Structure 1
Amino acid sequence: MAPGDDEYAPALAAAARHTQAWLASLPIRPVGPSLPASELAAAFGGPLPDAGMPAAEVIDLLAAAAEPGLMAMPSGRFFGWVIGGTLPAALASDWLVSAWDQNAGLRYATPATAAIEEAAGTWLLDLLGLPGAADVGFVTGATMANFTGMAAARWRLLTGAGWDLDRDGLSGAPRIRCFVGKERHDTVDLGLRYLGLGQPTAVDADGQGRLVPAALDAALASGTGPALVCLQAGNLHSGAFDPFADAIAVARKHGAWVHIDGAFGLWAAAAPELRHLTAGFEEADSWGTDAHKTLNVPYDCGIAIVRDAAALRAAMGLHASYLVHDAEGPGDPFEKVPELSRRARGVPVWAALKSLGRDGVAAQVAALAAAAAAIADGLAALDGVEVLNDVGYTQVCIAFGDDETTRAVTARIIEDGKVWMSGSRWQDRDILRVSVSNWHTGGGDVATAVEAVRSALAAVRTS
């Protein structure tokens, strides 16, 4: 049969049915999975059968066997890590991306997805107040967004030092000095490791995790040579933002490239009441974020933004005789990301932005911050609960006296399943961390979250 005949219909109908059932279960189901991977293995494993199974039956089996091992991450009661949900237009457009099955690397070969992603990139720059001439690449997530921005930095810094990175590699190259705040996300270090730049110099941070510009100035002044400074929009624990204007001014004085890790915090620039948190960040050289977090599109969709388009394309691009380029366009999508072959992951970003509009994005981001503030206020009113951070964005960190009690309350909350909040360690204390990232989270979810903490703490006290 040719594609488009009835061979697809039964499987797609089954997938739609199971998808709708899953989404309908989210408001009421326990957040955590009911079975661990070890107990699910039998349903999926065993010898590969000799005979196949009809596609619709495969989907039915897959959905039924997976159900007890699924975590309700798209639920408005999921506050673990920093994981968003999925907007309706973004989810539906992601289905189209899979059905279209376009390799979105070449503009000539896949003009529709290229045009969609270019439009999404233009909207993003405008929405966030970033330079209109910057290049935008759609990568797998925030880790690769940071990697991509820092790869462009590596190429530009070494070229500026008279080193031909493409020809000679890193062996014998001038060392790039890398500076980060003490409370940066570990994926920044991971990206530097991928790039062969080694361990960065950690610069002092204040009590909320914000890098101290004077300490950065002293660190940069202590040596010479090309330098890369990585700043942060949205601390993993406190939600705090580095003081961009002052820190970037310091970096410029020393000729450093500035990259901003804004995995979930970059989106604060889209909300008028939160834009002050990002003041001055537009003066940086590159930015990384994750559309799955605050924007709420499906996995996987990171966004790398680089002011210096030539550096980005030199770091990421390639030229081969078998590739057909679009001579009239702004270059090929693959020149801006680490992959030659990839799905059109920018399409759900376009759909999310189109469905929300500028005002809708602003309202969504502001609502996440407002829900975090409401949760913090509700928890602070409980006896024995200590809110440890200044809640100005979407993160709340709490403790219950000693570390043992905090760990016990965290375990009780997870076991109960009404909400999911993850434990962590911050400022030398065990904490319970609340991340508000899902567009579904509303007043009822806030009340449920506060009550879940109150109940868990009461149970621990009486145990």
Structure 2
Amino acid sequence: MNDEQRLMDEADRRASGYLQGIGGRRPYPGPEALAGLAAFDEPLPQQGHDGLGTLALLDQAGSPATVASNGPRYFGFVIGAALPAAAAADRLLLAWDQAASTFDSSPVSATVERVAAAWLLEILDLPRGSGVGFGTSATAGTVACLATARRALLARAGWDLDRDGLAGAPAIKVVLSATAHIAVRKAVRVLGFGSAQVIEAPVDAFGRVDPQRLPALDDRTLLCLQAGEVNTGEFDPFSDIIPHAKRAGAWVHVDGAFGLWARASSLHPLTAGVDAADSWTTDGHKWLNTPYDGAVAVCRDADALAQALNSDAAYAQSSRDAQKNLTLEFSRRPRGIAIWAALRTLGRDGVAAMVEQHCAYASALAQTLRGAGFEVLNRVVLNQVLVRCADDAQTVAVRQAVIDSGAAWFGASLWQGRPAFRISVSSWRTGPADMAQLAAALTQALRACAAEQ
């Protein structure tokens, strides 16, 4: 056995050990583990260290300080655990070390990602033949889709963006939901849209865009809607809004980072009409439970996406559907392969069962929490449970008490200007016992805080 093989075997041994203990790990590291991170504060070595020693340091000081988002009791940010088949595929990809830009640079990557793209359009029931780019995140995917949208809208107005740039171009306005995710707002800002060009669409009590108060749209409008509002899990009324937007000539983009996966389940009706949009983004590393980082940008007009993001060069000519022409990255690893592995292993039935199970868990938890004296702020139509206590101080204290106990981790939020916390059920590892433990920890924390007050 050579040194490389020995090192890889040791990495596999340590990784396997980590996974074997994932169910017993604190969802968030405790003070001792965080203090142990000081081991990394060492000067840059003059002479390199042994690879086995470097790996040992990473495991011994690093593993205890990980957030156990790959475990069953992490309920933050709609982060799913990594499915074994998808994680195993990712390990093999590391050995392959492919530059998955074109067929020439990696025939296997181009082939498998082409299949993954077709499967994705099928399981999400989006227009077949759409362009599909496998990128790093919904943020990057949104940048790609909105850049494509702006270029297309300007072309319709007779402006050649590639030749003339943005200086002097016809004004494009952006209409966002008032509850738009920060990733969409960041993408808009990165693309150079100032606050004067961004209009917020009013929302109803559930965080959905209100069709009756929709700002005026025209053929120079980029409208961004949501499939799965980040706090409530609600869906904008696509069937009411998108036809109106299309008649006005607007481009419609849908942020479906996690909610778009409802289309792969019996919850499909929640997304009615979403397939009439022009572009969509979703994540694999959220509800499909693929390893970080793997996300998807989908554009109905595949040519428009490929032209907007084209990166052909004299030394790197490729087909229209080469991933380097559908994503922001030229040098990239084949993120679509983990998505392919998840879809192939789960199949239609497995994806549907996972989504439906998580939604059932969320609904049952909401019912339990209401009975225990919590205020559940949303209708729990999906996998999000938005919770508040009797007052703001108690809301903050209860969340912190549960986290300090090591029973679970979930994120703080603001809803209609007041503190709340958001529980996202999205890990394939989460089972009934984990949900019961979460409910018990929350109830105990609420009683303790009430007694102190």
- TM-score, normalisation: structure 2: 0.96
The Cα shift of 1:162 comes to: 0.9
What residue is the counterpart of 1:360 in the other structure?
Answer: 350
Indicate whether 1:189 and 2:178 are aligned.
no
The Cα shift of 1:441 comes to: 1.2
SS at 1:251 equivalent: helix
Q: Structure 1 stretches of 5 or more lacking a match?
A: none
CA distance in 2, matches of 1:190, 1:433: 22
Question: What is the RMSD of the two structures over their aligned residues, measured on CA atoms?
Answer: 1.5
What residue is the counterpart of 2:451 in the other structure?
Answer: 462
CA distance in 2, matches of 1:364, 1:308: 31
Indicate whether 1:310 and 2:306 are aligned.
no
For 1:391-410, what aligned pairs fall within 5 Å after superposition?
391-410=380-399
Quick one: which amino acid aligns to residue 85 of structure 1? A
CA distance in 2, matches of 1:395, 1:109: 41
Quick one: which amino acid aligns to residue 388 of structure 1? L
The Cα shift of 1:54 comes to: 2.2
What residue is the counterpart of 1:375 in the other structure?
Answer: 365
Q: Is the 8 A contact 1:413 1:421 kept in 2?
A: no
The Cα shift of 1:242 comes to: 0.5
Quick one: which amino acid aligns to residue 373 of structure 1? S
What residue is the counterpart of 1:294 in the other structure?
Answer: 287
SS at 2:35 equivalent: helix
Q: Which of 244, 247, 250 is the matching residue for 2:241?
A: 247
For 1:174-185, what aligned pairs fall within 5 Å after superposition?
174-185=170-181
What residue is the counterpart of 2:338 in the other structure?
Answer: 348
What residue is the counterpart of 2:404 in the other structure?
Answer: 415
Indicate whether 1:389 and 2:378 are aligned.
yes
Q: Is the 8 A contact 1:107 1:114 kept in 2?
A: yes
CA distance in 2, matches of 1:367, 1:430: 28
CA distance in 1, matches of 2:431, 2:225: 31
What residue is the counterpart of 1:233 in the other structure?
Answer: 227
The Cα shift of 1:196 comes to: 1.2
Q: Which of 115, 118, 141 is the matching residue for 2:114?
A: 118
CA distance in 1, matches of 2:414, 2:321: 44
Quick one: which amino acid aligns to residue 154 of structure 1? R
Q: Is the 8 A contact 1:12 1:56 kept in 2?
A: no
CA distance in 2, matches of 1:149, 1:442: 36
Quick one: which amino acid aligns to residue 230 of structure 1? C
For 1:143-222, what aligned pairs fall within 5 Å after superposition?
143-199=139-195, 200-216=198-214, 219-220=215-216
Q: Which of 57, 61, 66 is the matching residue for 2:62?
A: 66
Residue 36 to residue 171, structure 1, CA distance change in 2 (3 Å): farther
Indicate whether 1:333 and 2:320 are aligned.
no
Quick one: which amino acid aligns to residue 385 of structure 1? F
Residue 160 to residue 91, structure 1, CA distance change in 2 (3 Å): same
Q: Is the 8 A contact 1:35 1:69 kept in 2?
A: no
CA distance in 2, matches of 1:428, 1:109: 50
Q: Is the 8 A contact 2:219 2:248 kept in 1?
A: no
SS at 2:311 equivalent: coil
Deviations, residues 347-374 of structure 1 (Å, cap 9, x unaligned): 1001001100111111111111111111
The Cα shift of 1:46 comes to: 1.8
CA distance in 2, matches of 1:33, 1:160: 53
Deviations, residues 120-168 of structure 1 (Å, cap 9, x unaligned): 0000000011011101000101111111111110110011111111112
Quick one: which amino acid aligns to residue 54 of structure 1? D
Q: Which of 418, 421, 424 is the matching residue for 1:429?
A: 418
SS at 1:86 equivalent: coil
What residue is the counterpart of 2:267 in the other structure?
Answer: 274
The Cα shift of 1:228 comes to: 0.6
CA distance in 1, matches of 2:4, 2:447: 53
CA distance in 2, matches of 1:206, 1:159: 34
Q: Is the 8 A contact 2:219 2:250 kept in 1?
A: no
Q: Is the 8 A contact 1:91 1:298 kept in 2?
A: yes
CA distance in 2, matches of 1:304, 1:6: 42
62-71 or 229-238, which deviates more = 62-71
CA distance in 2, matches of 1:136, 1:175: 28
Amino-acid identity (%): 43
CA distance in 1, matches of 2:333, 2:382: 32
Deviations, residues 267-313 of structure 1 (Å, cap 9, x unaligned): 00000x20011111110000001100000000110100001112111
SS at 1:27 equivalent: helix
Quick one: which amino acid aligns to residue 238 of structure 2? F
Q: Is the 8 A contact 1:27 1:76 kept in 2?
A: yes
Q: Which of 123, 128, 131 is the matching residue for 2:127?
A: 131
The Cα shift of 1:421 comes to: 1.6
CA distance in 2, matches of 1:116, 1:198: 39
CA distance in 2, matches of 1:54, 1:355: 38
Q: Which of 78, 81, 93 is the matching residue for 1:85?
A: 81
Quick one: which amino acid aligns to residue 144 of structure 2? T
Quick one: which amino acid aligns to residue 169 of structure 1? G
CA distance in 2, matches of 1:36, 1:262: 38
106-115 or 283-292, which deviates more = 106-115
CA distance in 2, matches of 1:96, 1:461: 51
CA distance in 2, matches of 1:213, 1:37: 50
The Cα shift of 1:37 comes to: 9.2
CA distance in 2, matches of 1:430, 1:36: 29
Deviations, residues 71-117 of structure 1 (Å, cap 9, x unaligned): 11111111112211100000000011111000101122211000000
Q: Structure 2 stretches of 5 or more lacking a match?
A: none
- TM-score, normalisation: structure 1: 0.94
Q: Is the 8 A contact 2:279 2:298 kept in 1?
A: yes
Quick one: which amino acid aligns to residue 430 of structure 1? P
Q: Is the 8 A contact 1:107 1:333 kept in 2?
A: no
Residue 140 to residue 37, structure 1, CA distance change in 2 (3 Å): farther
SS at 1:8 equivalent: helix
CA distance in 2, matches of 1:444, 1:80: 18
